[in-house]
Amino acid sequence: MSLMRLLLFLQGALQGCLSQSIHVFQIPEVNATKGSTVTLQCNYTLISTEETSIGWYRWYKHVLGGPEVSNDNVHFKDRVSRVTNTDFLSNGLANIQLHDVQLEESGMYLCEVEFMLNQSTKGYGNWTFLHVQGEIPDHLLYYTQS
Ligand SMILES: *[C@@H]1O[C@H](CO)[C@@H](O)[C@H](O)[C@H]1NC(C)=O
Ligand SMILES: *[C@@H]1O[C@H](CO)[C@@H](O)[C@H](O)[C@H]1NC(C)=O
Ligand SMILES: *[C@@H]1O[C@H](CO)[C@@H](O)[C@H](O)[C@H]1NC(C)=O
Ligand SMILES: *[C@@H]1O[C@H](CO)[C@@H](O)[C@H](O)[C@H]1NC(C)=O
């Protein structure tokens, strides 16, 4: 390959990347009280020359590709709410809500957005740290407020 061909190849490869990408944003940190409902916020922008409406999103705790934070996961069963299809596809939202959040659910959560373009294209946020605190007893609340 001549240098010029190599440069053209690299430029083409780069444009290929740029023409199809997903930028994912999630909030870095959220605090919650045990037993409450917490929203893990995530949104995305899809940059693509192709039209697609085949996409979905997932959340992982601690490990990318590990167990999903979903109602199918026994640890989170029936405690996860997702945004509507319309909010996901049209409004770029990929939030989940965790209901009755527990102390041991403190940790790092990753938002993944995937679309079927010419090929499967994925984007990742930069993790959210969820910090679940115990309920504050009334007498401590009194002291912290005074
Ligand atoms: C996406 O989320 C970030 C924070 O994570 C927020 O600053 C931004 O406004 C959101 N964008 C949209 C379009 O909701
Ligand atoms: C969460 O709580 C810690 C202290 O417990 C505080 O330093 C931090 O700013 C809080 N973060 C948010 C996003 O409220
Ligand atoms: C889609 O993929 C095929 C095979 O990988 C390729 O030949 C074609 O140029 C791609 N089209 C676009 C629009 O990227
Ligand atoms: C992701 O988060 C880490 C740690 O908070 C930070 O150092 C890094 O700059 C962030 N990366 C991006 C692309 O925002």
Give the pLDDT confidence of 81-92 residue by residue, as tens digits.
999 999 999 999
Ligand nearest to the CA of 136: 2
For residue 39 and ligand 1, the question of a CB distance below 6 A is answered with no
Residue 122: partners with Cβ closer than 8 Å, 6 or more residues away: 22, 112, 113, 114
Identity of residue 62? H
Task: Give me 28's structure tokens.
Answer: 């870095």
Closest-lying ligand 1 atom to the alpha carbon of residue 26: 5
User: How many A from CA of 113 to the centre of ligand 4?
Assistant: 18
For residue 134 and ligand 2, the question of a CB distance below 6 A is answered with no
Give the pLDDT confidence of 13-49 residue by residue, as tens digits.
544 444 679 999 999 999 999 999 999 999 999 998 8
Which of the listed residues 27, 39, 43 should we mutate to test ligand 1's pocket, taking the one with most ligand atoms within 8 A of CB?
43
pTM recorded for the entire structure:
0.79
Give the integer Cα–Cα distance in Å for 94 and 91. Answer: 9
Q: Tell me phi and psi for residue 6, to 5 degrees.
A: -60, -45
